[in-house]
Amino acid sequence: MTFRRTWGLALVAGLAGALLLPACSRRKPAEVNPIVPSIKMNRVKVPLGSALEITYTWTLEPGAKKLDQDYRALVHFLDNHEVMLFDDDHAPIPPPSTWEPGKSYSYKRTRFVPVYPYVGEVEVRMGLYPHPGRGERPALKGEDRGFREYKVATIELLPQTENVFLVYKEGWHNPETQLENPSVERTWTKKEALVSFKNPKKDVIVYLQGDTCVKCFPATPEVTVAVGKDVGLHFPIEGPEVFLKKIRVRAADLGTDEWVDLRLTTNQSFVPKNLNPPLNNDDRELGLNVYHLYVADAAQAGSPEGVVDAVALARAAPSPAAAPAAKKR
């Protein structure tokens, strides 16, 4: 959620109000509801494009008042000029209308840091906001940085080169952006797609976030993520929702070579133009729609929720096709 700061208009309106209204009739500061927002992250130095594991906590002091609706959580990440780089606005768990005074509520989320032409200090702010037309932001307890956004942390964004380096090889189409949200990039694979990464010789966690057109397949699509020495994960895609898989791969399974292959395979593929009826005029072979593919040093990832260990996979027959030249991203 973006809140535009129109400073010039606000200043004029404020001066006009001060001249026209007597002091006794000016709006009093909102009563603070002693709910304290806080945040904990797995790292404070965060490379662009990496996965950030976040724990959110809302602490209600004994004197806190019950909230009258299910507010959404406001989470803004701002650069050193107070320009919002990205957000993680979401619905808190459990819903705020169920929160009780004297209790704390914590939950975890994974947020991928967008790739921006900015590195340096970032201020993190939290707050609550209502559904449109249902009131205003409640005043909480904390360091109000304006507009009832409360400073909860600072992190430092590092260059993307601090991440495990990936080289995208065959089986990938060109990246695309969504018209409704140009900041979201995704890349379709063919039935099989290959990536290589520099071997860190350490345990890693492979993050894969994606979806596919489930209705475009004659049966439930299945995905295999194969890493290194034929270990990985095999899973079905049951619905159209975006999924996130986190797969721990042991250093021993990465081998000793300088580079490690990571292969994404769907058991089927589809061509939108060839469906009956056609989905659109796209004549590409499509398999998986990938939003994020990220390889993290397991020691730096902390203790993310939902991590599964890679298991041994059946060895597949090698493809007879020669691999085209790799492209870097």
Burial class (CB in 10 A: 0-12, 13-18, 19+), 244: middle
The H or E element that residue 106 is part of is strand 104-112
The predicted model scores a pTM of 0.84
Q: Report the distance separating Cα 53 and Cα 257, nearest Å.
A: 29
pLDDT in the model for residue 315 = 63
- At residue 320, the pLDDT reads 46
CA 223 to each of CA 16, 77, 263: distance values in angstroms, whole numbers, following the listed order: 62, 34, 10
pLDDT tens track of the chain, all 329 residues? Answer: 444 333 343 333 343 444 334 444 445 677 999 999 999 999 999 999 999 999 999 999 999 999 999 999 999 999 999 999 999 999 999 999 999 999 999 999 999 999 989 999 999 999 999 998 889 999 999 999 999 999 999 999 999 999 999 999 999 999 998 777 777 789 999 999 999 999 999 999 999 999 999 999 999 999 999 999 899 999 999 999 999 999 999 999 999 999 999 999 999 999 999 999 999 999 999 999 999 999 999 998 888 999 999 999 976 544 444 444 444 44
Going along the chain from its start, the domains and CATH numbers come out as 30-160 (2.60.40.1930), 164-314+321-328 (2.60.120)
The residue with tokens 């061509």 is 271
User: Which residue, 148, 110, 157, is CA-closest to 130?
Assistant: 148
The whole-number pLDDT of residue 114 equals 93
Residue 44 token pair: 């404070």
Q: What residue ranges in 267-323 does DSSP mark as E strands?
A: 289-297, 307-309, 311-312
Dihedral sign from CA coordinates of 239, 196, 226, 325: positive
Q: Which residues contact 53 (CB under 8 A, 6 or more apart)?
A: 41, 42, 108, 110, 301, 302, 303, 304, 305
Distance between CA 75 and CA 86 in Å, rounded?
9
248 close to 307: Cβ distance less than 8 angstroms: yes
